[in-house]
């Protein structure tokens, strides 16, 4: 029998239930050191993977300065993690 170990962080460790309802930014994640995501590059890789798997939606919000990139959790994904 072959045992496959999944080294990816579990959803509950990503702070899914503690995320603001107005979305979150990469900076929100790495400044709070959410589960092995303590630098910008790690966060960008994780967000890209979660967006590809349809767990996150990436939104570009216009501001007076640079655009703000915010992430929102897919409501169906939030229900699956409960």
The tens digit of pLDDT for each residue in 1-35 reads 444 455 554 544 555 455 555 688 888 888 877 77
CB atoms within 10 A of CB 46: 21
Question: Which of 12-16, 47-51, 53-57 is least confident?
Answer: 12-16
- What share of the chain has pLDDT > 70, as a percent? 67
What residues does each domain of the chain span? 21-81
> What sections of the chain are H helices per DSSP?
26-31, 40-52, 75-81
The pTM for the full model equals: 0.63
Rounded to the nearest angstrom, the gap between the alpha carbon of residue 16 and the centroid of all alpha carbons in its chain is 8
Domain boundaries 21-81, CATH class: mainly alpha
Judged against a pLDDT cut of 70, whether residue 73 lies above it is answered with yes
């Amino acid at each position: 029998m072959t045992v496959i170990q999944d080294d990816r962080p579990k959803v509950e460790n990503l702070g899914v239930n503690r995320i603001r309802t107005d979305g979150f930014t990469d900076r929100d994640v790495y400044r709070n050191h959410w589960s092995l995501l303590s630098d910008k590059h790690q966060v960008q890789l994780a967000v890209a993977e979660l967006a590809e798997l349809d767990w996150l939606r990436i939104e570009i919000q216009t501001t007076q300065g640079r655009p703000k990139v915010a992430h929102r959790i897919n409501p169906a994904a939030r229900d699956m993690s409960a």
